Structure 1
């Protein structure tokens, strides 16, 4: 069954839909984490108040809809480079809600991300995924992405005890 997937950049008018979509994503990601699920909408609103990514020229939230249903989210950030590459578009999040998986919704979001990178004159799209996420890896490889042996490091800051 073919479905029509629409991809649009989230704008201020889409704030409530975006917050609801984030809450639905958190419910899927943390099915046993009631406290985490309940706090997700407020956390999303706080994040949007702290840094309004919906009007940024360096961050994009793309929402995939099928009919009136928000089906998936991609969050992208432009990473500048001080050379001829100009930069890359970094795909930080790509989440397709369970009912829409393996129905080309993720592929539509990924294609739009590639189009956006081209529109911005960037060198390409970068992303990370876990080695064991075979479906995601197959999707990324199907559009020509190739993995490498890069090691990803992350330092998580203790924001509550910033002075310690």
Structure 2
């Protein structure tokens, strides 16, 4: 098994629309997406979680569980602020709906490593600090539908 670091490999994109009902973007949609990767300082969330249901019974002192409903916890991306353009801030304005797409192993056609999260921008806020660090801002996302995980990256045109 070859191990790798996500830094320098994983690509993160934002698409306003995906035509397919499967929520899997076409190569043209990926090409036209807003590229987020280079501006990202931190990512939080974007993980499918199961809310298990406890099923204890009188016959046992062990509290068993069964799978319950799925959800995605609080998700956000922190970006480095650009002092000359506000392209990303405009693309990710509060209320904007779209899809956050992760190409986990990079843009490798046919690799089953693409995750698509239907999302709405819940908030956008600047981060203020007196520390010696780059200016940043954060976007919080509400995940609006079940994500598609492990989809095949579309073939190159």
Q: TM (normalized to structure 2)?
A: 0.26
Greater share of residues in strand: 2
State the structure with more CA Rg: 2
Q: Looking at secondary structure, tell me which structure has more helix per residue.
A: 1
